[in-house]
Amino acid sequence: MFDKKYTQFSKITILAIICLAALSRLLPHPPNFTPIGAIALFGAAHISRTVFAFLIPFLALWVSNLFLNNVIYAQMYPEFYSGFVWFGAGSEWIYLSFAAIVLLGMFMLKKVSVQRLLAGSLLASVIFFLISNFGTWLTAGMYPPSMEGLIACFTAAIPFFWNTLAGDLFFTGVLFGSFYLIHNRSHIFTGEHA
């Protein structure tokens, strides 16, 4: 599942970071300032088996969505979230963009560097913006099914894009930085070498 170079401690650290990042979605935050893109990039960079590079981040996202949809959003928007919600409205577009970001990370982050992380975060934000808003335009019924409607949808989403970009940059730095800090310190205490 993981690269052979990782110790058992490092593997547990990777899983813990993904889970903690998913849990951070439950904290109050500006709209779209979330670790979704960062979780996808982090899992793609550190989980070598493709199926698990998708599965583990997807499970973290889905479980956090279950809580958000059925506890937080159900209280805030009872007209949209009645009964148990396994998948929120339009979630297929979120998961599609998430899968595209995992693929991006698999190709871009075979070797992790600051430049690649910055570029990956920027591209993750763009991918999420394009796919999720295209899905909103196509299926939500909020915009006319025309080029003008598509442009209006993307235009209305621009303020959210800046939050997505800030969240992707911030959380990518936190996830990758935390892992490398913990990973390097664990070698100091255990005497292991990467």
Q: What is the three-class DSSP state of 173?
A: helix
Query: What are the pLDDT digits (tens) for 108-141?
Result: 999 999 999 999 999 999 999 999 999 999 988 8
- Cβ neighbours of residue 136 under 8 Å, at least 6 residues apart? 90, 93, 142, 143, 153, 157
Q: Residue 91 and residue 106: Cα distance in Å, rounded?
A: 23
Which tokens belong to 174? 């936190």
Assess if residue 77 is contained within a domain.
yes
Number of domains in the chain: 1
- Taking only Cα atoms into account, the Rg of the chain, rounded to an integer number of angstroms, comes to 18
As a whole number of angstroms, the distance between CA 184 and CA 79 comes to: 49
Residue 1 domain-assigned (yes or no): no
Judge whether 53 lies within some domain.
Answer: yes
On whether residue 117 sits in a domain, the answer given is yes
Q: Is 90 left (phi over 0), alpha (psi -120 to 50) or beta?
A: left
What is the spatial distance between Cα 102 and Cα 38, in angstroms, rounded to a whole number? 9
Q: Is residue 79 part of a domain?
A: yes
Q: Is residue 2 part of a domain?
A: no
User: Which domain range does residue 110 map to?
Assistant: 8-190
Percent of the chain as helix, strand, coil, to the nearest 5:
75, 0, 25
Per DSSP, the three-state class of 2 is strand
Domain containing residue 135: CATH number: 1.10.1760
Domain assignment of residue 98, yes or no: yes
Q: What is the pLDDT along the chain (194 residues), one digit of tens a residue?
A: 555 566 677 788 898 999 899 889 888 888 889 999 999 999 999 998 889 888 998 898 888 888 877 777 777 676 666 676 666 667 889 899 999 999 999 999 999 999 999 999 999 999 999 999 999 999 888 899 999 999 999 999 999 999 999 999 999 999 999 999 988 776 544 444 44
pTM of the model: 0.85
Answer whether residue 3 is part of any domain: no
